Amino acid sequence: MSLWYKLRPYVMTVPAITVFILFFIYPIFYMIYLSFTSWNLISPVKKFVGWGNYVELLSSREFQQVIANTITYTFLTVLLTLIIALVLALWLNRKGFIYSFAQGAIFSPYIISLVSVALLWLWIMDPQYGLLNWVLKIFGLSPCPWLTHTDTALISLVIVGVWKTVGYNTLVFIAGLQNIPRDLYEAAELDEAGRWKTFYKITLPMLSPTVFFLLVVNIIASFQVFDTVQIMTQGGPVNATNMLVFYIYQYGFDFFKIGYASAAGVFLLIIVGIMTVFHFIFLSKRVHYR
Amino acid sequence: MARVEFKNITKKYGQETVIENMNLEIKDGSFTVLVGPSGCGKSTTLRMIAGLEKHSSGEIWIGERCVNDIPPAKRDVAMVFQNYALYPTMNVKENIEFGLKNKKVPKKERKLLINEISEIVGLTGYLNRKPSTLSGGQRQRVALARAMVKKPQVFLMDEPLSNLDAKLRNQMRTELIQLHKKLGTTFIYVTHDQVEAMSMGDEIVVMNNGQIKQTADPVAIYDDPEDVFIAQFIGSPPMNVLELKSIPGLNFKGKKGIAFIGFRPEKAEMSLTKKEGSITFQGRVITRETLGFETIYQVQSSLGVVMIKHFSRPFVENEELFVNVCYSDLYFFAENGQRVRNIKRDEFLFEEKNLLKVAGGSF
């Protein structure tokens, strides 16, 4: 009886733990193991190469560019998403049909599969008959090469990324705004605070937990961008949009350099791991302004 | 210091009229309490003075100017909110200072003001604390300090004590009265608690359904209510109001239109024998609330259930007794609830026998 009492919690969590170990923990350790080997996915021998893959990875010009691309993409996407979402949230945080409709409309890209979004934008950004260039032409501007030029390809992906996630961010911001007690604004009105001052002295500080949450979540998501790269640019032109996850995929499953790809995977794991730790620290210390 | 005047104020929310044609004068330097049940429009009235709510028509005057088109910050009023509305991200000092900074008061002067005010409300040691680390009473003081530091002409308070526990509420009540004496500024205070209204105000405005029912000092409101609503709203327990129909022995000569009679719980005397010069009926104690100095009885009588406040001999439950109310302590009300005044003793006839017989039979 007492033995069963002690064992019961373990026995009952066995299924969940099994799944967790099999599909989460084991692959991570297997990847770390593979990163120290040279393997082509078919050969029965996994040759141990020590730090070889890492040395090759860190000294590779291509990888350095991939990291730079990923950081640029993440920085621009997160920054633009947060700013646009905040502006939209401030504008849409009202009652009325048009505002509810706009909230729904802005959110809708978020629930569409990213593959469809990528295909859609591939058409929109087509240099010859795309919608965007048609609009530019109407305003008398010269057409933009979008995805086909090294200068504009990365920013084109940023546009798609922002378009896709801005709705979700807006909704979270609206929820945050609605949590700010109305009497604070009334007190500020009586305290003669202007609109701008009310915004940066009351709204923004009160929103800071929301901002931080979105910042971390968006950075983690942006670092793992893959679908748009795979469908829209294949990392090109001339590696201009090659980013970490696509790079790993390419080396693993196009070039069959599993060991090398795993080393890059470990790199991604470390970056996302650090962000996740930040996220958890933040969640545990989350300020409740009450 | 300023007086506040409402001239034909109407407030509508969409199609719904909340306040219609209200005229009100709040005296300079008074402690005026707006009291009434929830939804009576008292908070709306206060918010219209502050400018947080725009009135639909009419004029609001503060001091010598019509403030219809003047924004809240320029009306020279300060408000204490029910939930204090302290800025959670700022510490106590910054909370108090915020309004001054916006008014571009020089730093030296700000410092002097903050020191002076925090001294008055007893917050000197807490200036660097965030509101979330303060107790309810301390937050209340910060809210007061934030209002006081602006040296407004009118203080507006929207149920500021309702979030405090009973003991602290009593203490703050006393402090607010003292503060009003010290500052001499006009205080306008909204509450639904009639005890609070009676104990704090020197002028009470009783409101119901968006209308002002009576404006008077506490004693007058209590002793000389305009109608049944005020008589029952003010006083604890409320005035006993009985339908004339339920008192078979009571008849009026000539004067018609009286539908209700009432008496205050403490004006009824309970005794084991009948008393002369009173309206007397039989009853039985149902419940007893012992409050120390006084005891509140719920008495089932032939006229219905009445509440009686008694100070001396303790009666026990189910004890049969006589309730005597002196004729001069009776209030008379018309069918629509309006008070009927100046009914003299010889204008009504009370046939005791008739009543007692009914009473006797019902037990």
Q: What is the pLDDT of residues A97-148, one digit of tens each?
A: 999 898 888 888 888 888 888 888 988 888 888 888 888 888 888 878 888 8
What is the pLDDT, as a whole number, of residue A239?
A: 85
Asked whether residue A138 is domain-assigned, the answer is no
Q: Calculate how close chain A gets to B222, using CA atoms only, in Å.
A: 34
The CATH number assigned to the domain holding A250 equals: 1.10.3720.10
Q: How confident is the model at residue B322 (pLDDT cuts 50, 70, 90)?
A: confident
Asked whether residue A19 is domain-assigned, the answer is no
pLDDT cut 70: percent of chain B above it: 94
Is the Cβ–Cβ distance between B5 and B188 less than 8 Å?
no
Tell if the pTM clears 0.80, that is, is over it: no
Asked whether residue A5 is domain-assigned, the answer is no
Q: What are phi and psi for residue A135, nearest 5 degrees?
A: -65, -45
Asked whether residue A129 is domain-assigned, the answer is no
What sign does the CA torsion over B160, B166, B168, B174 have?
positive
Is the Cβ–Cβ distance between B339 and B333 less than 8 Å?
yes
Asked whether residue A117 is domain-assigned, the answer is no
CA distance B337 to B335: 5
What is the pLDDT, as a whole number, of residue B32?
A: 92
Number of structural domains chain A divides into: 1
Q: Which chain B residues contact residue A183 at CB under 8 A?
A: 81-83, 85
Q: Calculate how close chain B gets to A97, using CA atoms only, in Å.
A: 17
Q: Which chain B residues contact residue A193 at CB under 8 A?
A: 73, 98, 102
CA distance B216 to B221: 6
Q: What are phi and psi for residue B297, nearest 5 degrees?
A: -110, 145
Q: What are phi and psi for residue B217, nearest 5 degrees?
A: -80, 165
Q: What is the DSSP secondary structure assignment for residue A43, as one 8-state letter?
A: S
Asked if B99 lies within 8 A of A192 by C-beta distance, the reply is yes
- Which stretches of chain A score pLDDT less than 50? 289-290
In Å, what is the CA distance from B108 to each residue of A19, A191, A193, A263, B91? 67, 19, 20, 62, 19
Beta bridge partners of B158: B190
Helix (H) / strand (E) containing B268 = strand B268-271
Whether the pLDDT of residue B361 is over 60: the answer is no
Full residue range of the structural domain in which residue A236 is found: 34-111+149-285
pLDDT cut 70: percent of chain A above it: 97
The mean predicted confidence, pLDDT, of chain A is 88
CA distance A32 to A20: 17
Chain B residue with minimal CA distance to A207? B89
What is the pLDDT, as a whole number, of residue A286?
A: 58
Long-range CB contacts (within 8 A, 24+) of B292-298: B294/B266, B296/B237, B296/B265, B297/B270
Q: Calculate how close chain B gets to A191, using CA atoms only, in Å.
A: 4
Whose tokens are 């896709």? That residue is A164
In Å, what is the CA distance from B183 to each residue of A40, A264, B98, B123, B151? 86, 72, 22, 18, 9
What is the pLDDT, as a whole number, of residue A145?
A: 83
pLDDT tens-digit map of B82-118? 888 899 888 898 999 998 888 888 889 898 888 888 8
What is the pLDDT, as a whole number, of residue A269?
A: 92
Instruction: Judge if ipTM > 0.85.
Output: no
What is the pLDDT, as a whole number, of residue B335?
A: 86
Q: Calculate how close chain A gets to B69, using CA atoms only, in Å.
A: 15
Q: What are phi and psi for residue B181, nearest 5 degrees?
A: -60, -40
Asked if B77 lies within 8 A of A188 by C-beta distance, the reply is no
What sign does the CA torsion over A220, A223, A224, A229 have?
positive
Asked whether residue A176 is domain-assigned, the answer is yes
Question: Is A202 part of the contact surface with chain B (CB cutoff 8 Å)?
Answer: yes
Burial of B302 (0-12, 13-18, 19+ CB in 10 A): buried
What is the pLDDT, as a whole number, of residue A200?
A: 87
Classified as helix, coil or strand, B288 is strand
Q: Which chain A residues contact residue B146 at CB under 8 A?
A: 187, 191
Asked whether residue A17 is domain-assigned, the answer is no
Whether the pLDDT of residue B362 is over 50: the answer is no
What sign does the CA torsion over B48, B50, B53, B55 have?
positive
Asked whether residue A130 is domain-assigned, the answer is no
